[in-house]
A and B are shown apart, each in its own frame.
Chain A
Amino acid sequence: MKMIAKEELSLKERMARMRVVEGSYAVAHAVKCCSPDVISAYPITPQTHIVEHLSQFVADGELDSEFLTVDSEFSAMSSLVGASAAGARCYSSTTSQGLALMWEVLYNAAGMRLPIVMTVANRALSAPLNIWNDHQDSVGARDSGWIQLYAEDVQEAADAIPQAYKIAEDPEIRTPVMVCMDGFILTHVYEPVELLSVEEVERFLPPYRPEHILDPENPKTFGAFADPSYFTELRYMQWDAHRRALNKIETVAREFAEEFGRWYGGLIDTYRADDAEVMIVTMGSVIGTIKDCIDVMRSEGMKVGLVKIRSYRPFPTEALRKALKDAEVVAVIEKDVTVGNEGALLTDLKAALYNTPTRIPVIGFPAGLGGRDITVRDIRRVVDRAIAARDRGIEAEMEFLSLREDLL
């Protein structure tokens, strides 16, 4: 995050607005400021605190929303399909097994072009059961048609909520948005956060006024089935909306920066990338560690930079091509692995660079799976491997980071 000077608010005033809160509280508070009409969610670690805080807001009369204590995540998302079609601004949050249980409804909500916003508190997927953070859950849902934004820190996870609504509800986009934040690492951490207010958010986010809703005065049919003569075009329209979202995500990020003075990048962000020879590409909270590490390596004279993926879907192909065109080697660190292939982001990134003049080695590192720490040593190892790949050619395209060989 960069703080941008805002005319009305001095930095001092802004520091005074800071409160030390739990990450889940910050997100719940941001949701409250967007005044959703219907909230529907189901408890699952490490997402639970978000809905508990929201329930408390409703119980205290601070938030006028219908809060549905549903019977499952599947019902949670299904009920929001109905509520959204009836014209409601809708919110849910989940993780891991809950997201997996929603799978069928995710595609449906996106295909029906319902601008639902959901926080995914990223967590590993069973088996084996594991409640800690990685990105396998949301990466597995990357083809569902949802826009996916990944947050680096608590402030970004919270600020991404009004941005997500603004993107999702735009008549040109009409696509649901997942805001992904690392489970425990961000949901349970206490950090100083600048909390939004309803009035500020209202200035930034227009009310939700969909063109068509379920309405006896204008009784449209939602969810007709399409045979082969129409299906392709309906998918194309979704695809095209994602293409438009490439601009929209950037615009909304800028508008947010103007209104609130905080900037996290648009589709991507970069760190010390200008003259970087080794580029690390990643997403989520590990970015904090990587930045610190880059600072140290820079002080040692190593030209290392970072590209943060903020929007994984739509995939920022052009932005990445531009950001990586002068790099000499790219290393992807990602908290997922496609069993049977390699990390999903690695595949996506290589594909993005393939039809371009950029001919550099790209290697990938599934890391932090099931909550394993990604340490400074790990990141140094990644950079060493990258330099070796540049200088001596690729030895292994993909390597599990900090794999405990002693256990195998």
Chain B
Amino acid sequence: MEKLLAPGHRACAGCAMPTVINLVLEAAGPNTIVATPTGCSEVTTTPYPESAWRVPWINSLFENAAAVASGIESALKHFGKNHNVFVIAGDGSTLDIGMGCISGMFDRGHNVKYVCYDNEAYMNTGVQRSSSTPPCTSTTTTPSGKVSFGNPRPKKDMPAIAVAHRVPYVATASVAYPVDLRRKVRRAISIPGPAYIQVNAPCITGWSFEAGTTVEIARLAVETCLWPLYEYVNGELAGVKKIHVKRPVEDYLKAQGRYRHLFRMKGGEEMIRVLQQLADENARKFGLLYEGDVACTSGE
């Protein structure tokens, strides 16, 4: 079957983002209009006079896709037309600069499904920190250095922010779990009103991992419980992806250049311990482990 995002786009070899887009579009189908803000997904897919998109698509600016989609949805409503309206956006445009527009879109209750492919930094401009960058990550604006372990701040909890807006459907997903991702997209469409899905999408350039391991990295994020898979329906936790064998965070960290400093610097182990605590906290908070599995949670 022909993919709704055509080949020939300029995403780096091994980028997770195009796969995420195709999985979303596969679930949503061709009766879908997409708004995408500026970022890797936009510049790699629409160099004039070419476009990879086989669905109607619009880019306006970096920070306004949610508002643009609000307008599209309002126009469709006015004309009595029935198409899915999606935003497919990076984490920078979502968690940082686009926050006001997104809050407005959620608040007004537009029937817009917002998918954030989260590569945990501003990749298009060269791997700068976003508020989605996890702690201890080295980026070009939070580089590790003699006195720095990289990003000093925790990751902003955007799904919780969406839930706080009473968005009826909020979920996390991962490129490594395509069946789960497609199901979540379909579920989002089936529930009227706004939806928010944040999809882990490793960036080979910004995270620097070995060629071919994109999906494995994403899987490790889930298996370490650093990227919990869950969904909220009407504010209630409605499902989590349970983990069979919880892996230590080192397995995830050591596979990526952006955490290399943690294994080289004095005091790095302490930072790794902090990250392990984050993972353990996720496991506890979302109930990610099967009963009885709790004993083998820690990597120590």
Does chain A touch chain B in the assembled complex, meaning CB atoms less than 8 Å apart? Answer: yes
Known A-B contacts A70-B104, A75-B67, A82-B35; the reply to A108 vs B75 at CB < 8 A is: no
Check: A236 CB closer than 8 A to any chain B CB. no
In the complex the two chains form, what is the Cα distance from A75 to B64 in whole Å? Answer: 7
B53: chain A residues at CB < 8 Å are: 219, 221
Task: Find the residue from B30, B53, B103, B104 having the highest chain A CB count within 10 A.
Answer: B104
In the complex the two chains form, what is the Cα distance from A88 to B74 in whole Å? Answer: 9
In the complex the two chains form, what is the Cα distance from A223 to B33 in whole Å? Answer: 14
Are B100 and A75 in contact, with the CB atoms below 8 A?
A: yes
Are A78 and B51 in contact, with the CB atoms below 8 A?
A: no
Check: B49 CB closer than 8 A to any chain A CB. yes
Are A74 and B33 in contact, with the CB atoms below 8 A?
A: no
Check: A65 CB closer than 8 A to any chain B CB. yes
Shortest beta-carbon distance, A198 to chain B, in Å?
Answer: 17
B83: chain A residues at CB < 8 Å are: 216
Are B104 and A72 in contact, with the CB atoms below 8 A?
A: yes
In this complex, what residue of A is CB-closest to B60? Answer: A81
Q: Which of A10-46 contact B (CB under 8 A)?
A: 37-38, 40
Interface size class of B (residues with CB under 8 A): 35 or more
Check: A224 CB closer than 8 A to any chain B CB. yes
Q: 0/1 per residue, B211-224, Cβ < 8 Å to A? A: 00000000000000
Are A68 and B74 in contact, with the CB atoms below 8 A?
A: yes
Known A-B contacts A82-B35, A82-B58, A225-B43; the reply to A74 vs B100 at CB < 8 A is: yes
Check: A373 CB closer than 8 A to any chain B CB. no
In the complex the two chains form, what is the Cα distance from A70 to B64 in whole Å? Answer: 12
Are A82 and B70 in contact, with the CB atoms below 8 A?
A: yes
Query: Which among A83, A216, A224 is the interface contact of B48 at CB below 8 angstroms?
Result: A224
Query: Which among B48, B61, B78 is the interface contact of A38 at CB below 8 angstroms?
Result: B78
In the complex the two chains form, what is the Cα distance from A215 to B83 in whole Å? Answer: 9
Are B100 and A86 in contact, with the CB atoms below 8 A?
A: no
Query: Which among B42, B61, B78 is the interface contact of A104 at CB below 8 angstroms?
Result: B61
In the complex the two chains form, what is the Cα distance from A226 to B53 in whole Å? Answer: 16
Are B55 and A82 in contact, with the CB atoms below 8 A?
A: no
Check: B282 CB closer than 8 A to any chain A CB. no
Check: B54 CB closer than 8 A to any chain A CB. yes
Check: A85 CB closer than 8 A to any chain B CB. yes
A225: chain B residues at CB < 8 Å are: 42-43, 46-48, 59
A227: chain B residues at CB < 8 Å are: 47-48
Check: A71 CB closer than 8 A to any chain B CB. yes
Check: B101 CB closer than 8 A to any chain A CB. yes
Check: A247 CB closer than 8 A to any chain B CB. no
A72: chain B residues at CB < 8 Å are: 100-101, 104
B104: chain A residues at CB < 8 Å are: 70-72, 75
Check: A87 CB closer than 8 A to any chain B CB. yes
Known A-B contacts A74-B101, A214-B58, A222-B59; the reply to A86 vs B49 at CB < 8 A is: no
Q: 0/1 per residue, B99-125, Cβ < 8 Å to A? A: 011011001100000000000000000
Chain B contacts to A: CB under 8 angstroms = 30-33, 35, 42-43, 46-51, 53-61, 63-64, 67-79, 83, 100-101, 103-104, 107-108
In the assembled complex, 13 residue pairs joining A and B whose CB atoms fall closer than 8 Å, in A order, are A71-B103, A75-B104, A79-B71, A86-B33, A86-B71, A88-B78, A108-B60, A215-B56, A221-B51, A223-B46, A224-B48, A224-B59, A225-B42
Not counting A87-B79, A225-B46, a sample of 14 additional A-B residue pairs whose C-beta atoms are within 8 angstroms of each other reads A37-B79, A65-B78, A66-B77, A71-B104, A74-B63, A78-B71, A82-B73, A85-B68, A88-B74, A105-B64, A108-B60, A216-B56, A221-B58, A227-B48
Nearest 8 interchain pairs by C-beta: A82-B71, A71-B104, A79-B71, A78-B67, A83-B71, A78-B64, A221-B51, A82-B68
